[in-house]
Structure 1
């Protein structure tokens, strides 16, 4: 069995001036103490080829569930003990088959999980047994129309034992347009939520059509669940849409940071015909402000949100679809909002050196994923 020593280090970050005392009222000076912890996989290997892209967590963040699309296993990781608890093998085909791949996963409860792909959504127990299967089929649902090729985008959320799913419906091959939707597989109904003021948002779409590539560049939409609320956010602007699951009502909120822009500038060309020009446009888009998903702190009843700008990459051999979070960091900001999404304060935290990804709050600290020599680790940030 591999032995792991806990690496501990401390960094105090000072923002917006030289005062070393944290201002509790406006958060103008935010200080952290940080350490890095590693997960012990025992004799097994945790496949981090896709990072934590295809993962989910339980409600108290005591367990992480990571899908391995190569081995067709579900890794259950105990975050209290920082150990790989077990690997659950799944079948690719047959009565308990998950299909050729898994696009997204989410827990139904502590004993059941959804594994979804283009062919449908399967509900399984944590021994790999399929309990049910749902499929989106055009003309077989009432209510709002299911467009040709629409599927649930990662990430979606089950309620009512998995028979009702809230998520973003999208045709990934034809359009960047997403619809915040509720699908009831038992009642065979679809409800697409109307987003007030959506047409006024500063969004963008760049169509790249070259000899070898056909692609659409647009802002990434993120859907998160906190208690009885779903929050829809974008990488391109501060605006948020809040869906109250109790009554299926949606409302719109936003805020205006003082340290950064509240949205990308836009004005990008709608059509690009060369790879070189496409890379230039992507550099501009990523160099402007990029907003990360919200992080909920249940103990202090507030949200954290990182945002960042990247530096131009001088060479041109970087992968075309390299995400902004992996590019050289220019500036990094942390905004703090109350539970009603009012901005409490913000600070520049570029000293972190990289953008926190797959972040969550556990035990009063912000945790975020790091790959340490192909081993699973987490940086933990404690507010001083």
Structure 2
């Protein structure tokens, strides 16, 4: 099933005005009162075995409850992990048959809302259950089931998008997800009145230059794309990628999209894009993929709801000492208006991103938790940032 999920994630890889904004940063770009503490924490699962096959990619963290909900897709078993006590609290076994089934095709994720509803996401279908586990609605992400904007011919909505914490809408990418197709922007689907808003964003051509593709046999192709991230900020939507130090911000009230670019004094601001394209064998393909992955890589934006700050990890290989090259890890901090206020070179390894999967990362009680792979045990690297004026 992991291969199916990888394929879907690769596939993942109306009128709005776009306003480019160049963000000018102070020369030092550091906050003198900033500090951080880094440690590793483990989850006590008792006699149970926590599902780790998909590296928590199908889980959802509820900031209101301080709970991580972890889905086993084949059985619809959900582990309820208390991040305050660092223990597995309970297990919920949802139905995969009958009127309350959460499995029409194959579940790829879930979302627990502020009102105790739970959404289960499949590629083109979403199921909504109430607090008692009764299915109260299903949504199909196709034109005939939605009002408002219409999807252009031969395009679709990726059902594996993000659902708002109040359950009011889903935001996801739309476009032609076939090989050679284009992602056209973001689809915002109201889960209240089933209306569709298409938000065109012209970022795909720039992102495609960072994709390495191999045609190694007739009709056989493999590729290594960059990742696209969506973060919901109330009714607004933030798009960023793993390839460049920038974001696109959709303001729901004005209906405009603003492109913000940033500058780092520690790492590069984007990948080079200088990769060999005429690749015909898997070995050469992996060589170029590894070279690309050594370039700067940006993780997803995270929001601390209490402090009203955003965080992001990034990574780049430092080749200043050819005998002992090593990765540089950086934490970047943004204020509530997404102005960059600090960047910190970290002294320790942070598992931020892989070839296809970003590591599960979220903010709990002011600390940043990042999934750490440990055999048969759930663990997190925990970074607690602090500012002098907090």
Superposition TM-score, scaled by structure 1 size: 0.78
Q: Residue 91 and residue 298 in structure 1: after superposition, are their counterparts in 2 closer, same or farther (change >3 A)?
A: closer
The answer to whether structure 1 residue 48 and structure 2 residue 52 are counterparts is yes
- Which structure has the higher relative contact order (CA within 8 Å, separation 6+)? 2
Within 1, Cα distance between the matches of 2:232 and 2:339?
19
User: RMSD value over aligned CA atoms?
Assistant: 3.1
> 5+ unaligned residues in a row in structure 1: which ranges?
1-23, 313-327
In structure 2, what is the Cα distance between the partners aligned to 1:89 and 1:115?
Answer: 13
Q: What is the CA-CA distance between 1:130 and the residue it aligns to?
A: 1.6
- Alignment: residue pair count: 345
CA contact (8 A) 2:122 2:159 kept: no
| Contact 1:28–1:347, Cα closer than 8 Å, also in 2 | no
Alpha-carbon deviations, 1:183-219, whole Å to 9, x = none? 2466554322133677566853333221284233321
TM-score, normalised by the number of residues in structure 2: 0.77
Q: Which residue of 2 aligns with 1:295?
A: 302
CA displacement at 1:299 relative to structure 2: 4.4
> Equivalent residue of 1:102, what SS?
coil
Contact 1:234/1:291 (<8 A) preserved:
yes
Instruction: Give the equivalent residue in structure 1 for 2:71.
Output: 67
User: 1:108 and 1:168, CA in 2 relative to 1: closer, same or farther beyond 3 A?
Assistant: farther
CA deviations over 1:56-95 (Å, ceiling 9, x no partner): 1223361111111233211122212222222111222332
Matches within 5 A, 1:160-199: 161-162=167-168, 164-174=169-179, 175=181, 177=183, 179-184=185-190, 187=193, 189-195=195-201
CA contact (8 A) 2:38 2:384 kept: yes
Alpha-carbon distance in 2 for matches of 1:139, 1:213 = 34
**Structure 2 stretches lacking a partner, 5+ long:** 1-27, 320-324, 354-358
Distance 1:28 1:265 in 2: 32
Distance 1:172 1:66, change over 3 A: farther
* Number of the residue aligned with 2:137: 132
Report the CA distance shift for 1:159/1:259 in structure 2 as closer, same or farther (over 3 A): closer
1:256-286 per-residue CA deviation (whole Å, 9 max, x = no partner) reads 1111111111133445321122112211211
Aligned to 2:107: 102
Determine which of 310, 325, 330 is the counterpart of 2:327: 330
Aligned equivalent of 1:343: 340
